[in-house]
A and B are shown apart, each in its own frame.
Chain A
Amino acid sequence: MLNIKEVIFSITSKCNLRCRMCDIPYARIEELTTQQWKGVIKDASRLGAQTVVFSGGEPLLREDIFELISFTRASNLNACVTSNGQLIDEPTAQKLSASGANVVNISIEGKRETHDYLRGRGSFDKAVCGLVNLRKYKVESTVASTVSKYNYKDLLYVLEVAKDCGATTVRLQPFNIIFLKDHKRKKEFLIDKWDIPFAEEAIKSFINKSKEYKVAINPAGYLLKIPEYLSGKNFYPDNCSALWYSCPINPNGDLFPCWIEGANNKLIGNIKTDSLYELWLSDKRIRMVNSIISNGCKGCLMSCYDEAFDHKLFKESVAENVKKIKKITNRRKIMNKIVQSLKCQITRLKLRYKFYVSYKGSLSAIVVRRLRSAFSRGRILKEDKQIDREFILSEISQAKRKLKKEMRGL
């Protein structure tokens, strides 16, 4: 568990939009220089990372962004840019394509009115324009959306925009409080308890439509949790692996275990003084991650650990592999493939179990907790079962008897 999968750089805190759901202060901080970022990228590649995500603020506001992207590609890493799409005109798209960016992720919140309300007037048209320009220069584009009270009805529209503009993926993520320092306004974005069924329906139709349009989305298990989360419920993540394999870095070089913990001012170290390589392998980081896990976190439902909600069963995944194998005719090859996939599954399960234990305590503790919750659930069900047909019918017959008795009394 010492390998990085994903490095997330918030390379600048400057932004050209003032969105409603985000009031991160745009204070002037001393950002890392180009050379320093390059050093971080080098270290990430040494640590076995696969992807570098350039995020912000608005990353395209930094002038050396294209240089950084091409350096990332040169060190055998995938480069992904998260942008609001306002600055992607044709020359920029061309530059992105030339520098070799793999994926550009553009936020679209909903219909024009919704998007413009949330992000500022005119921003929708520019974002869509950005998507179109990217398609022109053959850069893969994806669409991201922050689901909140304002836009959960517009999700299908987002999907249509994504399809029309040639985006390959739509990624949803529920609104999160850490972007809003003003906690009074937090309520503005959460949905009411009684709107949960509507939101669920919206998400279900979103999932169905995505299959039709052939647009990739987050795992369904994750998406279906969004309405409940938005109504104010916290999710205790079963197996949030983001702590182990992803690594967020601030514009001034601070390295956090996770964005949420970063908001709580938990700091591993700074890139300016130590290199990423040292920090990542330091005891401090491992101790910190372990303490977060043992103390338990509130659960954020950020899309960084959405795979944890993908309940693809062992059987199904084997069947999928067998389907692939059918094309191969050589028997030995088939056997090899099967054994390989089994091995792969077993190691995955092993890792998962290790993780589970470190997260939730030993197996016996888990069993006890599960049993307790099952019993309490049973009790609640019993109370709710009051409205039962037999019960009502017996009540009616009792009432009838009472009336008959009264009649006889007369």
Chain B
Amino acid sequence: MNIFREFETNLSYHFAEILEKPIAKPCWIFLSLSHKCTYNCQMCGVVNILKGYELSLEDVKRIFDEVSGWDWDFTIVITGGEPFLRQDIFEIFNYARGLKLGIEVVSNGSLISQEIAEKIVGSGLKNIAISLDGAKEETHDFIREKGAFRKATQAVKLLSAAKKKAGFGPQISVWTTIMKENVGELFDIISLAKDMGVECLVYHPVIVAQEDMQNTSPNARFWLNDVDIEKLKPQIDKIVSYQKKNGLVAFLHDPYLWIKHFKGELTKNEWKCNPFVFTNIGPDGEVRSCGSAFGNIRKLSLQGCLNTEEAYRARKIMKNCAKPCLQTCWANPQADSLSGIVDRLINNIRKSKFDKKSKKELLSDAFSRLIYYEELLQECSI
């Protein structure tokens, strides 16, 4: 990412939140094609909501057409349900590839055979994520379904083999949900993943049921109690030290926040979500970030949905949300404070190998950007 571009996006997220106006576009667009799934996992309630709805191929294409015109860096994440249940999934990939959009897919790996793995590698995806909830077969199978562990590992192996054979392909990553059942195995997943040829490992803490994202009650089934939190601490230490040496694990936020998250002590100063960073389009076409829907993609364009009155209202509620949920999709910590953004720019410029003149130009550009927002701030009322 271009240094100045990064600075500009971070600034616009920062001021979009302050001014409560959609001057920034989302950088994550989650596209839930349908909620049909091959499994019925215990921590996930998505299968039970919005049954019978499905985004049609025309709708998906229309979204892609609109989004490809944006002058913005973003990623489209295709989720479900299980996206590979769709017959036209490769047509969708191809269409996105034609428009040069970055696409990621989240799957449980149950439908990935040799043939499909080769197709995926050739389809121009940026990233494919397979969910893996335990290092042991029993754990994963208990949470999901019997045979799920074998299928998921098989899928990862097939994908990495196909990628090796072709010499190119998507980044293969594994997503792990931290919950009561697997808290002792978190570190073991790393070695398992490495053996399978995974390039990126992401951990994210459980939310109780996806029907109700805000439910973080300590009585919930998969929530970590005090005993489990004690188990979590050494795991985090191990993971962090491993990450410093070898990489592989990607942290989307400081892992020590997990402890606070499970204890329920997370405050707004430590973790804040920016309502503009993330957008989800459900199988019924409703656009939302968190909470109530903004508008329907079947009636409005995506940009139109982000501009509706409902969107303003929902974002205001999000801004005042007192329960930070630490989900991987929301936050953009770099856009949290203005001084942080500026420091980041200055550091980046110092590290770069530009000559003095272009460095000075960059800084003066940044300066004028700040003046622009200052004027905007004085014109608008907060």
Contacts and interface: CB of A to CB of B under 8 A. Distances in A.
A389 B314 contact: no
Interface stretch (A59-67, A193-201, A245-253, A261-269): A193-201
- Of B292, B360, B371, B377, most buried by chain A (CB within 10 Å of CB) is B292
Contacts of B212: 192
A402 B364 CA distance: 12
A402 B340 CA distance: 11
Contacts of B374: 393, 396
Interface in B359-377: 359-360, 363-364, 366-367, 370-371, 373-374, 377
B339 interface: yes
B18 interface: yes
B317 A194 contact: yes
B342 interface: yes
Contact of B346 (A194, A387, A398, A406): A406
Interface in A273-321: none
Nearest to B290: A194
Contacts of A193: 214, 291, 317
Contact of B339 (A399, A406, A410): A399
- Of A192, A400, A406, A407, most buried by chain B (CB within 10 Å of CB) is A406
Given A393-B377, A399-B339, A399-B370, A194 B356 contact: no
B292 A198 contact: yes
Interface in B193-238: 212, 214
A197 to B, nearest CB: 6
A238 interface: no
A392 interface: yes
B344 to A, nearest CB: 11
Contacts of B214: 193
A398 B326 CA distance: 30
Contacts of A403: 342, 346, 363, 366-367, 370
Nearest to A383: B268
Contacts of B364: 407
Interface majority SS (helix, strand, loop, mixed), chain A: helix
A384 B321 CA distance: 11
A404 B370 CA distance: 12
A393 B377 CA distance: 8
B356 A396 contact: no
Contacts of B338: 392, 395-396, 398-399
Interface residues of B, number: 30
A396 B339 contact: no
A396 B370 contact: yes
Contact of B292 (A195, A392, A395, A396): A195
B51 interface: no
B342 A192 contact: no
Contacts of A400: 367, 370-371
Nearest to B342: A399
B370 A410 contact: no
A384 B341 CA distance: 22
B313 interface: yes
Given A396-B373, A399-B370, A410-B356, A194 B339 contact: no
A402 B373 CA distance: 16
Contacts of B359: 410
Nearest to A195: B292
A381 B175 CA distance: 39
Contact of A407 (B292, B339, B342, B363): B363
Contacts of A407: 360, 363-364, 367
Contacts of A399: 338-339, 341-342, 370
Nearest to B350: A406
Contacts of A398: 338-339
Contacts of A406: 346, 349, 363
Interface string B117-146: 000000000000000000000000000000
A399 B11 CA distance: 12
Interface in A183-218: 192-195, 197-198
B377 A402 contact: no
- Of A400, A403, A404, most buried by chain B (CB within 10 Å of CB) is A403
A101 B55 CA distance: 56
B1 interface: no
A390 to B, nearest CB: 11
Nearest to B349: A406
Interface in B325-355: 337-339, 341-343, 346, 349
Contacts of B339: 395, 398-399, 402
A398 B382 CA distance: 20
- Of A192, A193, A194, A389, most buried by chain B (CB within 10 Å of CB) is A194
Contacts of A402: 339, 342-343, 346
Interface string B45-78: 0000000000000000000000000000000000
Given A399-B338, A399-B342, A400-B367, A197 B317 contact: yes
Interface in A311-344: none
A197 B18 contact: no
B376 to A, nearest CB: 11
A201 B292 CA distance: 15
A373 B359 CA distance: 54
A399 B359 CA distance: 17
Nearest to A399: B342
B211 to A, nearest CB: 9
A387 B291 contact: no
A195 B314 CA distance: 9
Interface of B: 18, 212, 214, 291-292, 313-314, 317, 320, 337-339, 341-343, 346, 349, 356, 359-360, 363-364, 366-367, 370-371, 373-374, 377, 382
6 contacts: A193-B214, A393-B377, A399-B338, A402-B343, A407-B364, A410-B363
Which 6 pairs of residues, A with B, have the shortest CB-CB distance? A194-B291, A399-B342, A194-B292, A395-B338, A407-B363, A403-B367
Given A197-B313, A398-B339, 14 more contacts: A194-B314, A194-B317, A387-B382, A392-B338, A392-B382, A395-B338, A395-B339, A396-B373, A399-B341, A399-B370, A402-B339, A402-B343, A407-B367, A410-B360
